[in-house]
Structure 1
């Protein structure tokens, strides 16, 4: 009888960034002349930056009773954007870890809106800055508003849709990078 009253187990989700990004610069191929990019921790609205898996229903924010991110969403998003940028820009050494020497560029990303609605609409508004170490080079500021459709009625689907729209953001950032 007690088993019937038990709630379903909590499931933990990640944003799918592999532990070793495929397509990234192989170990040993980074030289002192390889341009370095450090990715600062992504900023999110306070209500999103936790471990709760969140979906929107109109003006109401719903926290999942059974789904959690494995870490704070800002950390997972930073890991994902870093991995995707490293995959697409193999000519760069991209990291979100502190480095001994100053980086060639710093990337700062601010996500001001990240909504996954149960109707399957994902929307994201973000701006980012690419800050060169050389003050004679231009500072690059970009902004994007992205939408994506997909199922979002289960925790698995909300996590997948969140990853998909963050992947779209990573593609936009990579495309804006100076050559």
Structure 2
């Protein structure tokens, strides 16, 4: 009888433990995924349209502190919080690159050189972006601080600029993502201006080094202003 009682008590404890584990699993919050892209606008340029030039967006560099699958938000100037249940749909560097490229293609009307037919005669402008700071302040603002450059691959023209964009945001992580999306769109608009200016200047005004006939040199250009004159 005593043995049967002990066996029964063990079974009750086991069942209780399993039940608690099931309840805990059911209570775990679902993982939410975010993207910096937007599906509301077309991002593909008609490939049959003749393009004056192509865009080559290089892989984006991001700070190690935010190069995670999870969203990272600021607690204060010296502390951050990693959100285990709120994650990027793809690596953050890829999210930023894809968002910038989509905006850039829409604004300059030039396709990504990887998707366009290569003739060897169409100028290619290579865009490189190095994000120095990518900060998320819930209920306050987002900040993107980046150094970017545009280089004409078939010439000597180059442009390097530094952009810092802050966007106010409301509470919630959706607002954080939207704030970064707006900041990147602003930077993409600035890059687009740089690409257009390089294209026009390199076509209409080839630059020569002073006193050195026949030698080409780097073009001196002023960095385009951000929308709303944000710097």
TM-score > 0.5 by shorter chain: yes
| 3-state secondary structure, aligned to 2:176 | helix
Q: In the aligned structure 2, how far is the partner of 1:67 from the partner of 1:11?
A: 5
Q: In the aligned structure 2, how far is the partner of 1:11 from the partner of 1:62?
A: 16
Structure number with the bigger relative contact order (C-alpha 8 A, sep ≥ 6) is 1
Q: In the aligned structure 2, how far is the partner of 1:64 from the partner of 1:144?
A: 27
- Pick the structure with more strand per residue: 1
| 3-state secondary structure, aligned to 2:112 | strand
Q: In the aligned structure 2, how far is the partner of 1:82 from the partner of 1:97?
A: 12
Match of 2:163 in 1: 144
Q: 1:101 to 1:79 in 2, by over 3 A?
A: farther
| 3-state secondary structure, aligned to 2:179 | helix
The structure 1 segments of at least 4 consecutive aligned residues displaced by more than 3 Å after TM superposition are 1-5, 95-103
| 3-state secondary structure, aligned to 1:130 | strand
Match of 1:116 in 2: 136
Question: Quick one: which of 38, 60, 65 aligns to 2:79?
Answer: 60
Residue 164 (str. 1) matches residue 182 (str. 2) = yes
Question: Quick one: which of 132, 135, 157 aligns to 2:152?
Answer: 132
**Is the 2:105–2:111 contact (alpha carbons within 8 Å) kept by the matching residues of 1?**
yes
| 3-state secondary structure, aligned to 2:95 | helix
Q: In the aligned structure 1, how far is the partner of 2:139 from the partner of 2:39?
A: 29
Q: In the aligned structure 1, how far is the partner of 2:137 from the partner of 2:113?
A: 31
Matches within 5 A, 1:1-179: 2-3=22-23, 6-18=27-39, 22=42, 24-29=44-49, 31=50, 34-58=52-76, 59-90=78-109, 92-94=110-112, 104-136=124-156, 138-151=157-170, 153-177=171-195, 178=197, 179=200
Computed over aligned residues only, the root mean square deviation of the Cα atoms, in angstroms, reads 2.5
Stretch of structure 1 that moved more, 100-109 or 76-85: 100-109
Unaligned runs of 5+ in 1: none
Q: In the aligned structure 1, how far is the partner of 2:67 from the partner of 2:114?
A: 18
Q: 1:67 to 1:23 in 2, by over 3 A?
A: closer
| 3-state secondary structure, aligned to 1:93 | coil
- Pick the structure with more helix per residue: 2
Q: 1:18 to 1:57 in 2, by over 3 A?
A: same
| 3-state secondary structure, aligned to 2:28 | coil
Q: In the aligned structure 1, how far is the partner of 2:53 from the partner of 2:71?
A: 36
